[in-house]
Amino acid sequence: MSQLLSAFPHKSIGVAVIWNDDGQILIDKRLPQGAIGGLWEFPGGKIEPGETIQDCIRREIYEEIGIAIAVQDHLITVEHSYSDFRITLEVYNCTHLYGVPQTLECQEIRWVTLAEIDQFSFPQANQKIITALRQLHC
């Protein structure tokens, strides 16, 4: 089984949990295309060769949302297998520095509290991130 799983393509993804001064988190709705299309996520994307996780997260958030952030502490690393690929999500707490969030590569953006987050549909891999956030802030 593990041999079979390791044959699937693997992607390493830098992911930002971006906090604002009101204790809300930024989430975005992915574009409709693809297996995970239309679900909500924490913004981020593939770590390029030679790039640190922090550089990846800053770059992706500027490309996708158009804002500047400070990357803070590591929250969790999540390994997850979807039906035809595997991902490693490297998740960092971040703070919003400046810029108004824009839907440059997504359908919609919201600032939400942890109490509100269950109202949104996330990919399977995100459950572990949300649990880690709840443990951090309970």
Ligand X SMILES: Nc1nc2c([nH]c(=O)n2[C@H]2C[C@H](O)[C@@H](COP(=O)(O)OP(=O)(O)OP(=O)(O)O)O2)c(=O)[nH]1
Residues that bind Mg ion (CB under 5 A): 45
What is the C-alpha separation between 98 and 104, in angstroms, rounded? 16
56 sits near ligand X (criterion: CB under 6 A): no
Which position's Cβ is nearest ligand X?
45
Output helix, strand, coil percentages for the chain, rounded to the nearest 5: 25, 40, 35
Decide if residue 90 touches ligand X (CB under 6 A): no
CB of 16 to ligand X, least distance (A): 8
Burial class from Cβ neighbours inside 10 Å (0-12, 13-18, 19+) for residue 73 reads exposed
Q: Does 101 bind ligand X (CB under 6 A)?
A: no
50 is in an annotated binding site: no
- Residue 69, interface with ligand X (CB under 6 A)? no
Query: What is the rounded end-to-end Cα distance, in angstroms, of the chain?
Result: 37
- Which residue ranges make up the site for ligand X (CB under 6 A)? 11, 13, 15, 36, 41-46, 60, 87, 89, 123, 125-126
